[in-house]
Amino acid sequence: MGGEADDSVRADECAVRRRGQVFRTSSVPPRESLEFWHDAVLATLVGMDIRTQSGTYDATMRTDRLGELRLTTVDCDPGEVHRNSGQVARGDGTQVFVAVQASGTAQVEQDGRYTELAPGDIAFFETVRPYRTRFPERFQLKIFAVPRGLLGQPEAALGRLTARAIRPVSGLAALLSPFMTRLADTSESYTGPVADRMADSAVGLLAATAAQQLGEDPADLPGTERVLLLRVQRFIRWNLADPDLTPAVIARAHGISVRYLHRLFEQEGTTVGRWIRGLRLQECRRELTDAADMGSVARRWGFSGTPHFGRAFRREYGTSPTDWLLGERAGHALEAS
């Protein structure tokens, strides 16, 4: 009977995880809580090592999505997290994290700097480089995962923002901290166009805060074009599986010329086609490890078939999907042994 009950709890939790909304260590036996939390953090944020003061862990995570943003609130026991170079190399660092310390304190290290966060403080975390954060007491953290291109800063500039406590005492920071906190707490109440507008507002504030911290004038940020680009990128994500998704289709849906569409993406240092292909490859790569048929995965995400997918995969990652998949499975087998 106990085994059946445990299986039922796990099944319920898996259902919640597929929706990507809530993770609770209380849903599994205490001896499995830390392993479960590792998996939850990897599925929602990025891979990192988590150390605690005991063998069990009490933590809850609520995650939601608004437009291009993923909002995550974690409420956890004391501990330490470390994203090391090996985890960075796995390629899940497509986003920058902007976090608000809601309660408790944090001691952050990244890019050779160290800072301490108090309640209300904001911090930027780069996911393409290692970092370490210690939480000496139970804490709550609001984390906004932002696609790095939306902040309008090159990678070198983003590296100057990490491990710096942004105090909410004046200026944009005084506006951003309570706004982010409230938005994370109420994200489920926003739907449709309202949710999109809230996401656009959040991205605008985050980009302006980043610019201000770097000594730039936030008024110089391209506001109208940035909002339009966000809408275009959201449209692409919604229609990513459509093999007929072309620049002409995208431009027509937004009432702009194809030339203007290309210009929006040129300002981001990429092209429309490359951006779509990158997203499709990311989705395929997520599904490949559990898929029996590579061709069906490729077609589901807009590729015409296995050869087309294979060529695109090799251009992007420097290896064939078959060789990459063999390496991934070998790595998982080694971790399990």
Q: Domain for residue 200, yes or no?
A: no
Indicate whether 18 pLDDT > 60: no
Q: What are the phi and psi torsion angles at 159 (to 5°)?
A: -65, -20
- Domain extent, residue 281, equals 222-337
- Using DSSP's 3-state secondary structure scheme, residue 246 falls into coil
We report the CATH number of the domain holding residue 308 as: 1.10.10.60
Q: Domain for residue 14, yes or no?
A: no
Contact 165, 171 (CB under 8 A): no
Lowest average pLDDT, out of 50-64, 74-88, 292-306, goes to: 292-306
- In the 8-state DSSP scheme, what is residue 257? -
Q: Domain for residue 312, yes or no?
A: yes
Q: Domain for residue 178, yes or no?
A: no
Q: Name the region of 225 (left: φ>0; alpha: ψ -120 to 50; beta: rest).
A: alpha
Q: Which of 131-140, 252-261, 309-318 shows the highest mean pLDDT?
A: 131-140
pTM score over 0.85: no
Q: Domain for residue 259, yes or no?
A: yes
Contacts of 27 (CB under 8 A, 6+ apart): 9, 10, 12, 13, 36
Number of H helices, E strands in the chain: 13, 11
Q: Domain for residue 55, yes or no?
A: no
Q: Domain for residue 108, yes or no?
A: no
Number of domains in the chain: 1
pLDDT in tens, 276-311: 888 888 877 777 766 667 777 777 787 877 787 788
Closest CA to 73 of 106, 95, 99, 110: 99
Q: Domain for residue 174, yes or no?
A: no
